[in-house]
Amino acid sequence: MTLPASARRLSAAVQGIDGFLFQPRSRTPLRFMRIAFGLFLVGYFTGLHPLAMMLYGTDGLVSRGGEFPLSRIVRPQLFHLLSDHSDRVVWLVTGGGIASGLWLASGFFSRLAPCVVWLFVSSVVTVIPGNSGDLLVMSFATYLAVAGLAGHLVVGGKTPRNHLPATADGGGPGATLETATETPGLPEVPAAGKACRGLPAVLSIAGGQAVPAWSIRLFQVQLVLVYFFSGYHKLANDAWYRGTALHYIAGQTFWSRYDLSHLDDWPVITSALTTAVLLFELVAFPVLVWVRPWRIPILLAGVVFHVAIYVTMRVFTFHQIMMLYYLAFLLPEDWQAIAGLCEPLRKLLARHR
């Protein structure tokens, strides 16, 4: 019996969502993200230590009668569980955060380490006044903890069982995953039955066995939504809507690292840059990053975008953590493509040695 057109469309939509969330993907990006985020946390907690000491140290504002956070959030907070006014607790939280970052980067006990990281990150993001960058650090830690609990960060382990889509011939999900390769560095497709048939051989590079896509999608969707709603809310501001926002930003000195006031003499340029930012956040990145031929160019454009802002403006944490989210869109073959883009520079440097 032929299904009605509406039923066929619904079936296609369900299959599309199922493929988007559960299609086998290399776990290599997750491993790069785990290592990069762990190292990032070393600098993150080191930078937060003076602020934490000012607020929660023995002679800090809290011990003198102040109260933080201004709006309480129900999450585990080591500052409140242990003490609100002790230098030892500040050292414990920030030092523990640094140690948890190194532990995460090492790959040992990869199910437990992300949860410990989440506890320390939650303790500082909740109680220390921050910005959107700190909230993105919290989101990154949360998603990584979920991926870790699902076994997607396991170093050198097998592909998790019972997580891959059912095969077309009626076999159960991941029915033959017990034969998945465990040998890192061999360019072989993981022997995961028909569910993994057709995966490119590069998936197994550096032990990058396949895992369901949903853990990577958490980071990807978060990044796309951050850009889109950032541009959407900018449009509610009259200066952004009229294309004059960067004209006023260039004229102020509080957030600028350098004197950019000379750009005010070129309103055409500041207006064009304002429009370019809106187009990048609202359309270019949220759409083109899903188009395979445009993925690397748009990611490189995003790197240039964030580096330029970081170099010229006093905006902390946000740009570093945003570029860590970029790793979710890079597959092993994308790293090879990036290396190919750098090949002319490598040859030029080799020629001048």
The pTM assigned to this predicted structure is: 0.76
- DSSP conformation class of 289: T
As a whole number of angstroms, the distance between CA 219 and CA 34 comes to 12
Task: Let me know whether 60 and 143 are in one domain.
Answer: yes
Mean pLDDT of 346-353: 75
Confidence of residue 111 (pLDDT cuts 50, 70, 90): very high
Please name the residue that has the structure tokens 């990584």. 144
Which range is most confident: 53-57, 134-138, 261-265?
Answer: 134-138
Query: Does 353 map to a domain?
Result: no
Task: Let me know whether 228 and 124 are in one domain.
Answer: no
Task: Let me know whether 143 and 235 are in one domain.
Answer: no
- pLDDT tens digits for range 167-206: 333 333 433 333 333 333 333 333 333 333 333 333 333 3
Task: Let me know whether 326 and 248 are in one domain.
Answer: yes
Which CA distances in Å does 114 have to 161, 179, 211? Answer: 21, 28, 18
Number of domains forming the structure of the chain:
2
Residue among 105, 108, 106, 139 nearest 121 (CA): 139
Task: Let me know whether 144 and 223 are in one domain.
Answer: no
Query: Does 183 map to a domain?
Result: no
Query: Does 279 map to a domain?
Result: yes
Residue 197 or residue 302, greater confidence? 302
As a whole number of angstroms, the distance between CA 346 and CA 339 comes to 9
Task: Let me know whether 223 and 134 are in one domain.
Answer: no
Provide the residue count of the chain.
Answer: 353
Q: Find out whether 326 and 33 touch, Cβ atoms under 8 Å.
A: no
Query: Does 8 map to a domain?
Result: no
Mean pLDDT of 293-309: 90
Residue 35 has pLDDT above 90, yes or no: yes
Residue 101 has pLDDT above 80, yes or no: yes
Query: Does 238 map to a domain?
Result: yes
Percent of the chain with pLDDT over 90: 28
Residue 340 or residue 1, greater confidence? 340
As a whole number of angstroms, the distance between CA 130 and CA 317 comes to 10
As a whole number of angstroms, the distance between CA 23 and CA 257 comes to 45
Task: Let me know whether 142 and 243 are in one domain.
Answer: no
Query: Does 346 map to a domain?
Result: no
Residue 36 lies in domain? 28-149
Confidence of residue 78 (pLDDT cuts 50, 70, 90): low
Query: Does 190 map to a domain?
Result: no
- Residue 136: other Cβ atoms inside 10 A: 21
Query: Does 43 map to a domain?
Result: yes
Task: Let me know whether 39 and 136 are in one domain.
Answer: yes
Lowest mean pLDDT among 156-165, 176-185, 233-242: 176-185
- pLDDT tens digits for range 41-65: 999 999 888 887 787 777 777 666 6
